Amino acid sequence: MENATDPYLDDVILSQAGHRQLKVAMLHVRVWDKCKAEERIVSNEKFNERLRHLVDSGELRAFGDITNWRFSEVLRTQDTTNRKPAE
């Protein structure tokens, strides 16, 4: 059962993405590792949903079809250090 909230997952994704292009597959591994270390469970579908949300909201810029993790990349488009942290 998933226990990672949307705000939590958004924060983790943004914290693992950078201002340089990063393969979505590598981002997924980083997010999954961080969630696992914090005993959070997140599905691939939820990861895709939140990644799409962050791209659509302009916080991430996508290169390629982000549902095809191995052949797409993302980068942060703005400074997100002022975001309110998730609980």
Report pLDDT digits (tens) over 43-68. 999 999 999 999 999 999 999 999 99
Range with lowest mean pLDDT among 1-10, 13-22, 35-44: 1-10
- Band the pLDDT of 26: cuts 50, 70, 90: very high
pLDDT cut 90: percent of the chain above it: 82
The order of strands in the sheet holding 60-63 is 22-23, 73-76, 60-63
60 neighbors 10 (Cβ within 8 angstroms): no
